[in-house]
Amino acid sequence: MTLDQTVERPARPTRYLRFAAFRSAAARAVVALDVRTDRPDDFQGALSGRASGDVQLLTIAGDAHSVHRTPSLIAKNPQHYLKFTVLEQGSGTIVQDGGENRLAAGDMTVSDTGRPYSIVCGDDTRISVVMFPKKMLALPGPVIARAAATPLDSASGIGALVRPYISSLAQQACDFEPHTLHRLSQNALALVSTLLESHGGSPVVAGTQETLLHRVLEYVDEHLAEPELSPGMIAAAHFVSVRYLHLLFSDRGTTVSTIIRNRRLERCYDELLNPLHAARSVSSIAFDNGFVDPAHFSRTFRAHFGVAPSSLRRRRP
């Protein structure tokens, strides 16, 4: 279950819960999780969050506990998200893909909800989390795999920029207007993507598949308004075969058509929230972003975000 995309929720924990309530809230926050503690009778914890489009922002605090994304939960609820975590306070351990690493206050890490993982938190732990569908980054599998369940440097380089941004965004999300929060959330994705690409000292090299991928994504963004945008059009513009283009994205767990559709939906979401576009109709925004059928757009938008485009606009402050 995802958090509501428009309701105002405090981004910082304000009310502590007993274990049963905390366990229920954590198990339903974005992806299904099994939550455990050795001291259920005197446990206190808090979880709150806010969603913006496909991006989920959470803050979690509590006594010693552990969360587990088990094979059975993945089979029943195959939600493929990347969970980027900043350990603000306390200590913990993260386990995924056979790796186990200790985390201290200030550490950052990422986990892939499409594969089993566990996070064990000590007493008085507080974390900030940003979660988003894995396919939004379109990063190669090895890039994500080498960063999973490892402490990411937050003291220097890109990490020193990412940590305070993610922490501030998660903790202050309730203070922003929906349109502003959406823009800031997209910036968070760009920062996380850059950090993961640079992890391990292997930045993107010109001439690689990653360079072509970035060029393709830029081309898609520049031509979203054109209804005829298609894999064939994109392949021709980059002098590659359609088959090769499909392979480029299938290696990253997505498809060309999915990327086009999702980026169109994200742009529509942004414009529906933007006060500068208040005078434009929902249909006009859909047409200007490459959709040709208002009814189809409305169904697709609702299926993707869980809210109708007209309802999203009505709830805008």
Give per-residue pLDDT as tens, 114-127: 889 999 999 999 99
Q: Please, are residues 265 and 304 in contact by the beta-carbon 8 Å criterion?
A: yes
- Give the C-alpha separation, 290 to 178, whole Å: 23
Under DSSP, the state recorded for 7 is S
- Give the C-alpha separation, 89 to 171, whole Å: 13
Paired tokens of 110: 């990422």
Q: Please, are residues 252 and 140 in contact by the beta-carbon 8 Å criterion?
A: yes
Span between the terminal Cα atoms of the chain, in Å:
25
Distances 297 to 47, 207, 224, 309, 315 between C-alpha atoms, Å: 34, 37, 14, 9, 19
- Report the pLDDT value the prediction gives residue 191, as an integer from 0 to 100: 93
- Report the pLDDT value the prediction gives residue 14, as an integer from 0 to 100: 53
Q: What is the SS3 assignment for 108?
A: strand
Under DSSP, the state recorded for 137 is T
Nearest to 119 by CA among 85, 152, 147, 88: 85
Q: Which residues of the chain have pLDDT under 70?
A: 1-14, 138, 200-208, 314-317
Q: What is the mean pLDDT of the chain?
A: 86
